[in-house]
Structure 1
Amino acid sequence: MNSSLTASPSKKLVFGLPIALIWGYIAIAFFMTGDGIEQAFLSKYIVDLGFSTQQASLVFTVYGLTVAVASWFSGVLAEITGPRRTMIIGFVLWIIFHIGFLTFGLEQKNYAMMLIMYGIRGVAYPMFIYAFVVWIAYAAPKQRLASAMGWFWCMYSVGVGVFGTYLPSFSIPAIGFMGTLWSAILFIAIGGLMAMFLIKDDFNSYKENTTNEGPLRELLRGITIAKNPQIVIASAVRIINQISLFGFVVILPIVFTEQIGFTMSEWLRIWGAVYATTIFTNLMWGILGDKLGWVRQVRWFGCIGMAIATLMFYYLPISFGPNIWVGLFVAIFFGFAIAAFVPMSAIFPTLEPSHKGAAVSMHNLSAGLSNFVGPAIVTAVVPIAGVEGAIWTLTILYIVGFILTFFMKVDQNISKSATDDNQSIEIAH
């Protein structure tokens, strides 16, 4: 994103939320409800169709790779073509390839088409959400940008984690897996149409004195900025951030329902508790990070917290059986730990204060790669060492992240605006 973002002082905010973009925030909640509706049961359904756990993992791995690439270029594309147009393209692509995934892939039990259609669909959701992030960055006053971004990530979590996870626990018993997957289109369409017609804010009014050369230069800097070793270290830690989150959606639905004995509805409610927790902990850790220190919080509460949470999420339910209260406890603990990585979104632009846009692009790429690396680890390790081996591999990587933080040299006071402008509060997607 352009580092010289400005906002009109006439824009009204309520508790940090830009009123001109309120329909966009609501659109994000609807869109992410549709996009997240299958995340906690799709791997189990693919296995039920007769495919192996490894084949289900590969579907998520390919999806994660396309998400990573799209996460990197979507922000710059939004600056070049405009956020509204980018969001429209994203929601149209999502519907087209989701229909292809259901009709040519799942219904026909055609594994190749499942990989292709679901993989290409992975391009769509970053285009929709990261384009709106760019819009917020321009529309919100600098001194309130963190609050504006906090509202964004709250709506994201409400969609993907609360409604997207809890709705299937009721819809699957009523209309089945495929019916639930088809219903996702309704939520995507509502979100897309809101972005198309209801957001009245004019993005072009923020860019009267800019040209397309700036975003193109930022696109190139998004590659060359990797020469900064501190950016490389931060990227590694950011990738590690969510590897359990995305790895777990591949293996835990099967473990919890087939090995431990939870029903699918119970599992969905347990997984939904992770995201329900992050709605509040994202905001909490965002405030505490400024007081505790960004790197210190990531090191002890993020990396060590997630190492403990990853082990607990497997071993406690295995030990206690299908006890819903134990399941909810580990989910809530997991939600507290993963949100402690919130300061990473402030660390990146602080490391490159002269090229904040390129730094944010690297942050987005790293976030997307987490979506790829988690399922990839599961795909590679489970055939060799089983589910338990995958759990320990993920845990060890969090210890690696803990060690890497000692090499991160971040001057948190380098610029007060680094916190105000760039600390986007997130589950760290």
Structure 2
Amino acid sequence: MWSSFVEKVFITPKLMLGYIGVMIFMAGEGLEQGWLSPYLIKNGLSIEQSSLLFSVYGLTASFSAFLSGVLTEMFGVRRVMFAGLIMFCIGSFFFLTFGIPSHNFAVMLPSYALRGLSYPLFVYGFLVYVTYEAPVDRLSTAGGIFWSCYACGLSVLGVMYSSVTLKFMTEIHVLWSALVFVCLGGAIALLVDKDAIKSKKRANSEEKTSILYLLKGITIIFEVPKLGLCGYVRIVNTLASYGFPIFLPLVLQNLGFTISQWLQMLASLWITNMITNYFWGMLGDKWGWKNTVAWGGCVGCGLTTLLFFYIPTWGGGYFVTWLAACAYGACLAAYTPINAIMPMLAPENKGAAMSVLTLAAGLSTFFGPGIVGIFIHSIGAVGVIWIYAALYFSAAIVMAFVNIDHRSFIKKKDENNPASPPIVAKS
């Protein structure tokens, strides 16, 4: 009965361990979001220094996200994930021991940047593993479970933990406690498998161990142009979600909403996203990966982005605005099958394909707030909202050129060897 439950919910026991590990790891990674910047400014950093600190963190995270796929192909899942875990611990040690207590920005900047390098290696390294371990007919579902666990750890568990512990612990002690989550999550996830991602065919490939393979995450876009199109769609995916916190709280406050109501809506948005990731993943495997992304994700996010802004602007109260926030969070989850589409566009180079995906995810963290910074003074909040909506609708058009039939992969797998196990990760 237990094995049946695991297969139904988590697909395989190995994936279940990895999912749980990622969720706990991201709880430690995300427990400081929402309060670290004000805390640092309160304790001596300037706004400009704080902004630079988080900008460099985002840059290093994007770079690491890009490399995670090809590094996993080259060195194996466990090595890459373990490297991410160690880098997080080292970065945290210097940041908390020599950076914050002495207000030494010269130490804080590189040590926090090292933390930015660390977590994509851990979580995206595991995501590459998911594309190999999960059967093709449940690949979208597997991606949905991953993002549900990721969001649960980052935006729910970590935030809830901080909201409770900050009442009786100092900020520095809460930051130190993140290492407990990270190490526990790492220990669980690293039980995932002992071998590297290699099929028998790839085990003899010298290309996968060449340093030049690092460039595969770029060159593959020219070899498989549809990957570039999907990369654009993935960038657009979370643009508004990263931009909303920059300006929407001020808009809502001017309309009579409280900051507490905004935070409740934001939390509900991500909780809804966390829950619906799993269901959109299953729907993608049934309805079609492309249809789910184009209609549920791109068109859905375009419409709900407008609703989230115009409902309160036109006089809607808290409850209907809260519903709009939840609807946006649900549609945001409909992009889940993009995690299945991209590796299957390059089945012989899944790691490189996932590097394109993870790079796009990282770039979204820049362009989302960047759109606000560039346009908010010239065209106002209304203009920014319409830019986001237009980009979502443009992504739906782009998806029309990504011709992929998930059923063909399932049929091909069944015809070739229905009883064969999936390619597993070995190191």
Q: Name the TM-score, length of structure 1 as normaliser.
A: 0.78
**TM-superposed deviation, 1:129:** 0.9
**TM-superposed deviation, 1:284:** 2.1
For residues 11-50 of structure 1, what are the structure 2 equivalents within 5 Å? 14-15=7-8, 16-20=10-14, 22-43=16-37, 45=39
**TM-superposed deviation, 1:57:** 5.4
Structure 1 residues 136 and 343, CA gap change in structure 2 (3 angstroms)? closer
- On the 8 A contact 1:306/1:337 being kept in 2, the answer is yes
Partner Cα separation in structure 2 for residue 419 and residue 50 of structure 1:
59
Residue 236 of structure 1 is matched in structure 2 by 232
Structure 1 residues 410 and 205, CA gap change in structure 2 (3 angstroms)? closer
When the two chains are superposed, the root-mean-square deviation of aligned CA atoms in Å is: 3.9
1:396 to 376, 390, 411: 390
Query: Do structure 1's residue 306 and structure 2's residue 298 form an aligned pair?
Result: no
Deviations 1:7-35 (Å, cap 9, x if unpaired)? xxx99953243224543332211101111
Query: Helix, strand or coil: the match of 2:334?
Result: helix
Residue 203 of structure 1 is matched in structure 2 by 195
Q: Name the TM-score, length of structure 2 as normaliser.
A: 0.78
Structure 1 residues 419 and 152, CA gap change in structure 2 (3 angstroms)? farther
Structure 1 residues 333 and 82, CA gap change in structure 2 (3 angstroms)? same
**TM-superposed deviation, 1:254:** 6.8
- On the 8 A contact 1:83/1:131 being kept in 2, the answer is yes
- On the 8 A contact 1:312/1:330 being kept in 2, the answer is yes
Residue 156 of structure 2 is matched in structure 1 by 162
Q: Which moved more, 1:105-114 or 1:122-131?
A: 105-114
Residue 338 of structure 1 is matched in structure 2 by 332
**TM-superposed deviation, 1:344:** 1.5
- Extract unaligned runs of 5+ from structure 1: 1-9, 421-429
Query: Do structure 1's residue 287 and structure 2's residue 254 form an aligned pair?
Result: no
Partner Cα separation in structure 2 for residue 115 and residue 376 of structure 1:
21
**TM-superposed deviation, 1:126:** 0.8
Structure 1 residues 47 and 399, CA gap change in structure 2 (3 angstroms)? farther
**TM-superposed deviation, 1:239:** 0.7
Deviations 1:77-128 (Å, cap 9, x if unpaired)? 2333332232222122113323444566655666665554433321111111
Partner Cα separation in structure 1 for residue 348 and residue 283 of structure 2:
26
For residues 306-325 of structure 1, what are the structure 2 equivalents within 5 Å? 306-316=301-311, 323=318, 325=319
Residue 213 of structure 1 is matched in structure 2 by 206
Structure 1 residues 12 and 170, CA gap change in structure 2 (3 angstroms)? closer
Query: Helix, strand or coil: the match of 2:358?
Result: helix
Structure 1 residues 290 and 128, CA gap change in structure 2 (3 angstroms)? closer
Deviations 1:193-227 (Å, cap 9, x if unpaired)? 3345xx17422596677146253465443221221
For residues 120-269 of structure 1, what are the structure 2 equivalents within 5 Å? 120-141=114-135, 144-175=138-169, 177-195=171-189, 199=191, 201-203=193-195, 210-211=203-204, 213-216=206-209, 219-227=214-222, 228-251=224-247, 262-263=258-259, 267-269=262-264
Partner Cα separation in structure 1 for residue 35 and residue 348 of structure 2:
43
Structure 1 residues 336 and 286, CA gap change in structure 2 (3 angstroms)? same
Deviations 1:34-90 (Å, cap 9, x if unpaired)? 112233444555666687877655544433322222112223323333322322221
**TM-superposed deviation, 1:243:** 1.1
Residue 271 of structure 2 is matched in structure 1 by 276
Amino acid at match of 1:17: I
Q: Which moved more, 1:70-79 or 1:376-385?
A: 376-385
Residue 80 of structure 1 is matched in structure 2 by 74
Partner Cα separation in structure 1 for residue 382 and residue 44 of structure 2:
23
Partner Cα separation in structure 1 for residue 285 and residue 135 of structure 2:
20
Query: Helix, strand or coil: the match of 1:408?
Result: coil
- On the 8 A contact 1:71/1:368 being kept in 2, the answer is yes
Residue 88 of structure 2 is matched in structure 1 by 94
Deviations 1:364-390 (Å, cap 9, x if unpaired)? 222222223223333444565565554
Query: Helix, strand or coil: the match of 1:276?
Result: helix
- Extract unaligned runs of 5+ from structure 2: 415-427
Structure 1 residues 189 and 413, CA gap change in structure 2 (3 angstroms)? closer
Structure 1 residues 97 and 84, CA gap change in structure 2 (3 angstroms)? same
Amino acid at match of 2:269: V
Q: Which moved more, 1:216-225 or 1:124-133?
A: 216-225
Amino acid at match of 1:76: V
Deviations 1:220-261 (Å, cap 9, x if unpaired)? 432212214322222111111111222334455676689966
Q: What is the number of equivalent residue pairs in this alignment?
A: 407
Structure 1 residues 332 and 152, CA gap change in structure 2 (3 angstroms)? same
